[in-house]
Amino acid sequence: MEDDLISALTHEVKEEVVENYLRERRLIELQIEDLMEQVKQLQTLAQQTGVRFARLGYLMIHQDMLERLKLMLALDEHPYWSQHLGGRFFGRLRFIRVIGLRAKVRFKKLVLEAYHRLYQWMGKYLKAHQSLENECRAVNLNITHFQKNYDLLAILSFLKSLDTTLIERKYVMGENFTPEEMASIDQKLYIRPIDPGKLDVPPPMHLPKPETMEERLSAIASEIFGKYQDEAKGLMQ
């Protein structure tokens, strides 16, 4: 009788440990879900920032000027942003309106303002990217603490000692495990840390400040206007 009582109490304690494990595991999974939602939002912001690259590239008018701008911004080191610079722009973003008496002056203002807005959007993206990295570190820290707090081998042994009908009846497995998954439960129990490098978000660029680029951008705008004056005027109509 005493042995049966000890056995029942031991079983109850183990069951409570498993329930605590599953409850805390679900909290980790919710954090991971929030992180993945943050990844989607960052991907959208990357696309929106990329459109600002496309607008600046559109102002280069010709491929030779576009290549000059790529070299100026060292875009060969940033293939994701480089592909946007030469991408289609028309119709994806309202064009910038500038004022000035001379067309050449207006075109310079247009190029400078396009870069300024790109710089602002990249700043937004940089902050959002840093926020994602911080969140990823926090989630990984929680995963590490969570894994250390539970003896997965003991939990696995206990779960495999139960028949599947008992597991299903007591909801021990929660919504994440079904009886059919029992064969691979040892893999299911382990939560792998998030690898930031596999989150499918491009790294941000540290663009030069607009004031440091003003002279160089003004020079390339003047050259563009001199070579492709009709096309440049057409962009400002």
pLDDT score, position 157: 57
pLDDT tens figures, 48-78 = 999 999 999 999 999 999 999 999 999 988 9
Stretch 193-211: mean pLDDT: 92
Task: Give 85: exposed, middle or buried? Use CB within 10 Å, 0-12, 13-18, 19+.
Answer: buried
Q: Which domain holds residue 135?
A: 2-235
Q: What 8-state DSSP symbol labels residue 27? A: H
Look at the chain and report how many structural domains it folds into. Answer: 1
Tokens 């040892």, residue? Answer: 186
Assign 11 a pLDDT band (cuts: 50, 70, 90).
Answer: very low
> What b/e sequence results for 156-192 when a residue is b if at least 16 CB atoms lie within 10 Å of its CB, and e otherwise?
eebbeebeeeebeeeebbeeebeeeebeeeeeebebe
Stretch 16-22: mean pLDDT: 66
Residue 39 confidence (pLDDT) above 50:
yes
pLDDT score, position 179: 52
Looking at mean pLDDT, say which of 3-17, 172-186, 210-224 comes out highest: 210-224
**pLDDT top residue among 220 and 91:** 220
Lowest-confidence pick of 35-39, 52-56, 129-133, 231-235: 231-235
Stretch 33-49: mean pLDDT: 95
pLDDT averaged over every residue in the chain:
79
Where do the H-state alpha helices sit in the chain?
Answer: 2-58, 63-72, 79-85, 103-149, 152-161, 164-170, 185-189, 210-227, 229-235
Residue 198 confidence (pLDDT) above 90:
no
